[in-house]
Amino acid sequence: MKLLTGLTVILVTALIFTSQGEGTNVKQERNTVSTIQLYSSLVQKQDRLDRKYRCIGTKPYLVRKRLATWNWQDKILVPRTRTSYAERKTQRCGYLRWAAHLWASRADASFRSYVDLQDPRNAICHVFGIYCTEALRVSSCESGHSIYAHNGQYLGMFQMGSGERARYGHGNTPLAQAIAAYRYFVASGRDWSPWSCRP
């Protein structure tokens, strides 16, 4: 900005200087034209610098949003969105801004999915898929969908015993407990015989 202000002062001074005197000769006209051309080229250079500096924070922002997306996707056990790392190959500011916006929207969507899966019903349906309705009935009967339910050695939404928890896993989130129960469900032949509650 200081550069443009200084150039404006130079241009005005040059125009005043060239307009003094009685009439305009060819030399004065050339001076005016060359001053305007110099000013124009410096303004273009300043515009390029402005665009460059406006774009400086875009790459790190893009990388942060991509990592955030992958972090939430890992937590909800969905495959990571693939990338070609195009920001390493291009310097085009418009493209980088578009890519950063795209990854920011993906990060927001992944985070919302993670938050949704904190609800036991959503977590169960996310994991069990086509068996969602049956799994919801079993979980409701076993624990009322509570991740904190316990009955002696049986814990969690699906009231899995210590042996089953050691074999198929356990956790303190609805998603972790639903995954463990699904592993047990698959290992038992996709029926509900291991549970006292049936759909």
Q: Are residues 149 and 179 in the same domain?
A: yes
Q: Are residues 163 and 144 in the same domain?
A: yes
Cα–Cα distance, 92 to 28 (Å, whole number): 41
Residue 88 domain flag: yes
Residue 64 domain flag: yes
Q: Are residues 38 and 73 in the same domain?
A: no
Q: Please say whether the beta carbons of 192 and 198 come within 8 A.
A: yes
DSSP annotation string for 30-57: HHHHHHHHHHHHHHHHHHHHHHHHHTTT
Cα–Cα distance, 107 to 46 (Å, whole number): 34
Residue 196 domain flag: no
Question: Over the stretch 105-127, which tens digit does the pLDDT of each residue have?
Answer: 999 999 999 988 989 999 999 99
Question: Over the stretch 145-196, which tens digit does the pLDDT of each residue have?
Answer: 999 999 989 999 999 999 999 999 998 899 999 999 999 999 999 989 999 8
Cα–Cα distance, 143 to 98 (Å, whole number): 47
Q: Are residues 64 and 97 in the same domain?
A: yes
Q: Are residues 149 and 183 in the same domain?
A: yes
Residue 193 domain flag: no
Q: Are residues 142 and 128 in the same domain?
A: yes
Q: Which of 114, 131, 154 is the last residue of a domain?
A: 114
Range of the domain at 91: 58-114
Which candidate, 161, 199, 167, places its Cα nearest to that of 183? Answer: 167
Confidence band, pLDDT 50/70/90 cuts, at residue 7: very low
Q: Are residues 135 and 110 in the same domain?
A: no
Cα–Cα distance, 65 to 112 (Å, whole number): 14
Cα–Cα distance, 100 to 64 (Å, whole number): 9
Question: How many domains, in total, are found in the chain?
Answer: 3
